Structure 1
Amino acid sequence: MGDRMKEFLLAFLGSFAGAVLFNIERYNLLWAGLCGGIAWTTYEILIHSSGRAVYATFISAIFVGLFSEFMARRAKTPAYIFSIPGMYPLVPGIMAFDTIYLLVFGKMEDGINKGIETAATAGAIAFGIMLSSTGYQLIERILYEIFKNKAKK
């Protein structure tokens, strides 16, 4: 099995397990896990092509938000049911550890730089999900108004 497939499965299982811990309904567990797998695969592809973690995280978070909004409509459930477990693989835990490690061992400049990157990555997750969810809802509302007006004619 290829490395990407293994990573996809691990991200899927991590998101799936997180969804189980949050007591999400059984019929939504598969989709919550799939959201995490998609997020991690997108991140890996982008990090290898661009080398920029914040950019890769931001685009991956947009995918999480779009997938969550789409599945929320299909499953008739709130989008956070999918977005919260879906973003687990993107959380910069090792970056936060590295920040503290560098600061504790006196490498202040490196620690501050890593801390800024960690904060930027966390912000990219929040902004990416917010942007995609808001954009999805805006487009959905515009399309609703267009089709509602066509139906009146």
Structure 2
Amino acid sequence: MGDTMREFLLAFLGSFTGAILFNIERYNLFWAGLCGGIAWAIYKFLVLFSGRAIYATFIAAVFVGLYSEVMARRLKTPAYVFSLPGIYPLVPGIMAFDTINLLTFGKLEEGINKGIETAATAGAIAFGILLASNFYQVLDKLISETLNKKTKK
């Protein structure tokens, strides 16, 4: 099995088990895991293609937001059921560890740079999900209003 498939499966399992920790219903576990797996695949592809981790994180987070909204409507469940486990593979945990490690050992300039990168990555996750969720909700409202106007005529 290739490295890419292995990473996809690990991201899937990380999101799947995270969903278990949040006590998500059994029938939603697969979909929550799939969200994390696909988000990680998008992230890896974009990092390889562009070399920009923050950009890749943002695009993957936009995917998580859109996926969560679509699946929430289809499965009649809140969007956070998919978005919280879906971002697990994207969370910059090792970057935060590296930041603290560098600062602890007195490498202040490197630590501050790594800290800024960590904060930017976390911000990209938050902004990507926020942007996608709001876009989807506005679009959904516009479509439903348009359909309501047509049915009233």
TM class, shorter-length: over 0.9
Alignment RMSD (CA, Å): 0.6
**Runs of 4+ in structure 1 displaced over 2 angstroms?**
none
Matching of residues 86-101 of structure 1 within 5 Å:
86-101=86-101
Using the aligned pairs only, state the percent identity: 73
SS in 1 for 2:100: helix
SS in 2 for 1:64: helix
Structure 1: runs of 5+ lacking an equivalent: none
Task: Give the Cα–Cα distance (whole angstroms) in 2 for the partners of residues 103 and 114 of structure 1.
Answer: 10
Matching of residues 126-141 of structure 1 within 5 Å:
126-141=126-141
Residues 75-103 of structure 1 deviation map (CA, whole Å, 9 limit, x = unaligned): 10000000000000000001001111111
Task: Give the Cα–Cα distance (whole angstroms) in 2 for the partners of residues 21 and 98 of structure 1.
Answer: 26
Which amino acid is 1:128 matched to? G
Matching of residues 4-153 of structure 1 within 5 Å:
4-153=4-153
- TM-superposed CA distance for 1:51, in Å, is 1.1
Which amino acid is 1:53 matched to? A
Task: Give the Cα–Cα distance (whole angstroms) in 2 for the partners of residues 87 and 36 of structure 1.
Answer: 6
Structure 2: runs of 5+ lacking an equivalent: none
TM-score (norm 1): 0.98
Which amino acid is 1:103 matched to? L
Which amino acid is 2:92 matched to? P
